Amino acid sequence: MGHPTIYPTGATLYNPKKAWSGYTIFQVKGLGALLINMNGKEVKLWKGLQGFPNKILPGGYVLGSTGERNPKYGMQDMIDLVQVDWDGNIVWKFDHNEFISDDGEEPQWMARQHHDYQREGSTTGYYTPGSEPLVDKGNTFILTHQNVKNSKITEKLLLDDKIVEVTWDGKIVWEWRPNEHFDELGFDESAKNILYRDPNMRPAGGGMGDWLHINSMSLLGPNKWYESGDERFNPENIIWDSREANILAIIEKKSGKIVWKVGPYYDQSEELKKLDWIIGQHHVHMIPKGLPGEGNILIFDNGGWAGYGSPNPVAPTGRQNAHRDYSRILEINPITLEIVWQYTPKEAGLIEPLDSSRFYSPFVSSAQRLPNGNTLITEGSDGRIFEVTVDHEIVWEYINPYKGETEIPSMNMVYRAYRVPYEWIPQLEKQTEVEIQKIDVKNFRVNGSEPIGAVEETEVKGAKGYNQNDAFCVISNRESQ
C-alpha cells in the first residue's frame, strides 16, 4: 500500500473531557528524548539522549542511553543506561555488564541494554497511582545481551537476552539467561530443526542468531492472583515476551524456572484457539494494581512475521512461519486466557478483511493502561500515538513529524511512548488544554483547492444512487468464487 507524500503531523485530535491528560515522552531517532503536551507542543528535548526506550521519572528525570554500539559488532546494544536530570546532567549510570574490545574501537565497558528496563518502585515503568519509580536509590532490572554457545539449540553463535538486576551503585546481584531454559519453552521437533539450522541469523559480529529477541521485561508486582494463593504470580516474578518465537512467559525469580507460558503455539487447546495466534508481539506486562484491569495481561500483538515450525508457502524453511497483516491490542485474563478487552481493526471501524491492514505495525509498538481506564497505544511503525476509551473512541492522537536520518530514513517510527501526570514535571507550569476537534476531511484542502459546495455543480439527469454496501457485497462475492 502506498503512502501520501503529505499527511497531518503533530496532535490531530484531543478531547480534554475524555482523555487522561499529561505529558508524553518518546524517542525521536537522531534527535533525542522528546516531551510533548496534549496539544502536541514540544516542551522539552533532551538532545542526544537515546532511548530504548526513554522513560521519565518524578521530578523531571529521564532514563536513556548516551550511545549505541557499532552495529557491525553488536545488534541493538546500548553502551549504557543513564539517568539525567532536567538539565541533562547524568546522575546515575550503569555500563559494567561486559568489557568489549571491538576491532578498531576503543575498548570499553558496555551495558548492552536493549528494549526494556525497570527501576524499583514501578513494575512497568509507567504511571500507577501509589507506585512511583525511585529517583535517588533502588535497584534496576535491565534487559541485556550476551553472546553464548549452546549446542542443544544450535552450533552457531547465539545472541541471548540476559536479564540482570543492578544495585544503585552498579553491582549485578541477579541474572537470568533464557538459553539455559530451552527445554521449558515448548518447541516441537520442527521448530528445533529450523532453530538448529537458522536461529534467526543476523550479520552483526560475523553472524549470530537472534533466536528469541525478547523485547519487554517487567515485574508482576502486587496482584489479586497471588493474593488468592496462586504462586505463579508472585510479585517478584518477571514477565517477558519473545518476538521471534511468539512466546509470553513468567519466570519465578527465586528459581529461574518458567511458571506460566503462552505460545509458541496457539492451536493446542480451546482457550488458545479462542485467543488466536499472537505474532511478533511487544510490551507484554501485567496491568499494575491501582489501574483499571489490574492483574490482566496487556500486550501489543503486532502481527507481521514470526515463529519457528513446519515449512509453509510463506516460510519455506520454517522460520517466521506465522503471518498476519494487522495488529491487535489484547487484555487477557492470565488464568482463563479470556480476552477481557481488545482493540483490533474491527474496533477501529475498519472493514474486515479488506482494509484490516490499515491498523498494522509489524514491529516496535506498545500499550499503556491509564488511570481513567483509557489505553495509550503506540502504533510505532507509522509514528502514531493515540488514546482510546474503553468503548474504543479515539480521544487523542499524535503523529510523529520526524523521520529517521540514517537507519531507516523514510520512517517516522516510534518505539514506545509513555504518558505521565503533570505533577511529575514541576519544572513546567501546568499546560493549557485546548480541544482539537476531528478534521472533516471532506472539506479540508491544501493550497486553495476547493471542496464540493464551493464549486459550480451540474446534476446529471437520470443518474442512479450508489450504495457502498452493495459494492462491498459484489467484491465479497467475487473473492468467494
**pLDDT tens digits for range 367-413:** 999 999 999 999 999 999 999 999 999 999 999 999 976 666 678 99
Amino acid sitting at position 353? P
Amino acid identity for residue 220 in this structure:
L
> Which grid coordinates belong to 238?
518477571
Share of the chain above pLDDT 70, in %: 94
pLDDT at 460 (0 to 100): 80
Q: What local confidence, expressed as pLDDT, does residue 221 receive?
A: 98
Residue with cell 558496555: 110
Instruction: Report pLDDT for 444.
Output: 82
Measured distance CA(25)–CA(301) in Å, rounded: 22
Cα–Cα distance between 41 and 25 in angstroms, integer?
12
Beta bridge partners of 250: 239, 260
* CA angle at 425 for the pair 421 and 427, rounded to the nearest 5°: 150
Tell me which of 4-13, 61-70, 127-136, 224-233 is least confident.
Answer: 4-13
Within 10 A of 7 (CB to CB), how many other CB atoms are there? 11
Contact 79, 48 (CB under 8 A): no
Which pLDDT score is estimated for 473? 47
Q: Which of 140-149, 314-323, 410-419, 450-459 has the lowest mean pLDDT?
A: 450-459
Instruction: For residues 85 and 89, give the distance between their C-alpha atoms in angstroms, rounded to a whole number.
Output: 5
CA torsion, ordered 117, 122, 127, 131, to nearest 10 deg: -170
Is there a contact between 296 and 233 (Cβ–Cβ < 8 Å)? Answer: no
Q: Does residue 219 contact residue 141 with C-beta atoms inside 8 Å? A: yes
Which residues, 6+ apart, have CB-to-CB distance to 392 below 8 Å?
343, 347, 348
In this predicted structure, what is the pLDDT of residue 481?
A: 38
Provide the mean pLDDT of the chain. Answer: 93
Using alpha carbons only, how large is the chain's radius of gyration in Å? 23
At 322, the pLDDT band (50, 70, 90 cuts) reads very high
Confidence of residue 477 (pLDDT cuts 50, 70, 90): very low
Beta-sheet strand order (sheet of 394-399): 10-14, 394-399, 384-388, 375-379, 366-369
The whole model's pTM is what? 0.94
pLDDT tens for residues 74-97? Answer: 999 999 999 999 999 999 999 999
CATH T-level topology, domain 10-480: Neuraminidase (2.120.10)
Residue partners of 109: CB distance under 8 A and separation at least 6: 95, 96, 97, 98, 99, 100
Count the residues in the chain.
481
The listed range with the strongest mean pLDDT (2-11, 225-234, 432-441) is 225-234
Domain locations in the chain? 10-480
Percent of the chain with pLDDT strictly greater than 90? 86
Strands (E), 309-389: 319-324, 328-332, 339-343, 366-369, 375-379, 384-388
Cβ of 157: how many Cβ atoms within 10 Å? 17
At 320 the pLDDT is 97
Does the pLDDT at position 1 exceed 60?
no
The span from the first CA to the last CA of the chain, in angstroms, equals: 24
Statement: residue 340 has pLDDT above 70: yes
